Amino acid sequence: LIGQQDIKNFFLKK
């Protein structure tokens, strides 16, 4: 099974 990661996990909130 392949899961899709959330793009927000990679960036910081400003």
Partner 1 sequence: MFEAKLTEGLILKKIVESIKDIVTDVNIDISPSGISLQAMDSSHVALVSLNLSMDGFEHYRADTNMVLGVSIANLAKVMKLADNNDQITLQADQEATHLKIIFENPKTERTTEFNLNLITIDSEHLAIPETEYSSVVTINSGEFSKICKELFSLSETVQITTNTDYVQFSVEGEVGSGQVRLGHNDSEKKEDQTILEVSESVQQQFAIRYLNMFNKASTLSSFTRLCLHQEQPLVVEFKIDNLGVLKYFLAPKISD
Residues in contact with partner 1 by the rule CB under 8 A: 1-14
> Tokens representing 3?
């899961």
CB of 14 to partner 1, least distance (A): 5
**Shortest separation between residue 12's beta carbon and partner 1, angstroms:** 4
Name the minimum Å distance from CB 9 to partner 1: 7
